[in-house]
Amino acid sequence: MTIIAEHANTLIILACLFGFFMAWGVGANDVANAMGTSVGSNAITIKQAILIAMIFEFAGAYLAGGEVTSTIRKGIIDTSSISGQPELLVYGMLASLLAAGTWLLIASMLGWPVSTTHSIVGAIVGFAVVGISVDAVKWAKVGEIVASWVVSPVLAGTISYVLFKSVQRLILGTENPFQSAKKYIPMYIFFVGFMIVMVTLTKGLKQLKLDVSFTESLGLAIVGGLITMLIGWFFLRRIKRDPSLEHHSRFANVERMFAVLMVFTACSMAFAHGSNDVANAIGPVAAVVSIVGSGGEILQKSALPSWILLLGGVGIVIGLATYGFKVMATIGGKITHLTPSRGFAAELGAATTVVLASGTGLPISTTHTLVGAVLGVGLARGMASLNMGTIRTIFVSWVITLPAGAGLSIMFFFMFKGYFG
């Protein structure tokens, strides 16, 4: 207790710095999950992707990031055994942030799309096993999280597969694909708008302390979807068929319309990603601030200050803008060849999966989800369309991430313990 009182300001400053560093890593590495498909399919430029991400990643993190944060902050380790030594939890959370941030920096420099959720969960489990005890880890909860890493790419892949098959059936496989696209694309835009509004109302308003029932949310989400559909329809009206473009590809004019649709899916993926992955950076920060603020008491329930969500949101945006391009290139072009119609199916499938997980408080990996979605679209075209070499490299980087996060965390934990203790 005396250690926390003596170093209170230092501990909070370190938590904020390391939390920001971790959020930067989330942005730098996970930008591919939000924007890689849009850029890889040439629907939008990198500059446009960063602008969209700055708005919607931040909105998702700030409005809807609190639910998953509680899982990262309180759900992985049992703190009852260290109630008399709260400083151990503080050291562990600082070590976890620094370890995960360091690993994300290394992975981003190499262009590896690793899981930020893997990184932070591995780091927290690593310090808890060595610094507290094996029994302190809630292995059942860790098991749920690990299961979600398998479920999320399978679910995203399935949704994306079905979406792309529907595009093939309703649009690409018809006699007049351009007319079919004019008819059916507004329906897809409605679904994107509906999903963004629904997750904002059911989750985001918890932060704003406004009371909206599920039925009211459903009605407002339908209205939001219709408004989004009208906006999309307005832009689609302006696209005229250019027969000269169809000499190289029969679907060239159709892909121009899907490029418009991908702006909407990019927004939804960025929002969903921000709501889910901000927790990886700010969950440990919230734990440190709570312990220091209570004078060393480990509270089971504490309010999440909005400035911590702000810190995470800003860190993610700066990470996106400064170093996101390397991982974006891997997701956008090296797994399978993406066109706007394929990118749309992958991105909307991934966004739907992330929103579902974020709503239930399960910290899934958006990296696994997006890669699963891109694989689903590739499989809809046949195994030959997949780059198995890139896929193997990605899977190996996923396997390395957990032990890397745990090992770095253990090292940093003993470093902080030695310095402050």
| Contacts (Cβ under 8 Å, ≥6 apart) of 178 | 241, 253, 254, 257
Residue 279 above 80 pLDDT? no
CA dihedral 133, 138, 142, 145 (to 10 degrees): -150
Collapsed DSSP state (helix, strand, coil) of residue 211: coil
Question: What pairs with residue 77 in β-bridges?
Answer: 137
CA dihedral 188, 193, 194, 195 (to 10 degrees): 90
CA dihedral 119, 88, 8, 104 (to 10 degrees): -10
Question: What pairs with residue 336 in β-bridges?
Answer: 386
How much is the pLDDT for 22?
94
Average pLDDT, the chain: 83
Collapsed DSSP state (helix, strand, coil) of residue 94: helix
How much is the pLDDT for 397?
87
How much is the pLDDT for 387?
84
Q: Residue 144, by phi and psi: left (phi above 0), alpha (psi -120 to 50) or beta?
A: alpha
Q: Could you give the number of structural domains in the chain?
A: 1
Whole-angstrom Cα Rg for the chain: 22
**Higher confidence at residue 276 or residue 129?**
129
Give the N- to C-terminal CA distance of the chain in Å, as an integer.
11
Q: Which of 307, 320, 232 is nearest to 274 (CA)?
A: 320
pLDDT tens-digit series, residues 318-337: 888 888 888 887 777 778 88
Residue 123 above 90 pLDDT? yes
pLDDT tens-digit series, residues 44-61: 888 888 888 888 888 877
What is the CB neighbour count within 10 angstroms for residue 216?
A: 11
Band the pLDDT of 163: cuts 50, 70, 90: very high
Q: What is the DSSP letter of 385?
A: G
Full domain range(s) for residue 174: 2-420
For residues 354 and 369, the answer to whether their CB atoms sit within 8 Å is: yes
CA–CA dist 195, 359 (Å, integer): 12
How long a stretch of residues is the chain? 421
pTM over 0.85: no
CA–CA dist 73, 121 (Å, integer): 10
| Three-class DSSP labels, 221-237 | HHHHHHHHHHHHHHHHH
As a whole-number percent, the residues of the chain with pLDDT over 70 amount to: 88
Interval 6-28 mean pLDDT: 91
Residue 169 above 60 pLDDT? yes
Interval 234-262 mean pLDDT: 86
How much is the pLDDT for 64?
65
Band the pLDDT of 303: cuts 50, 70, 90: low
pLDDT tens-digit series, residues 125-147: 999 899 888 888 888 877 877 77
User: What DSSP element (H or E) covers 124?
Assistant: helix 116-131
**Higher confidence at residue 205 or residue 122?**
122
The residue behind tokens 């949704």 is 159
Q: Residue 388 burial (CB < 10 Å; 0-12/13-18/19+)?
A: exposed
Alpha-helix runs per DSSP H in 294-339: 306-323, 325-333
CA–CA dist 223, 200 (Å, integer): 14
Residue 227 above 90 pLDDT? yes
The residue behind tokens 């959720």 is 117
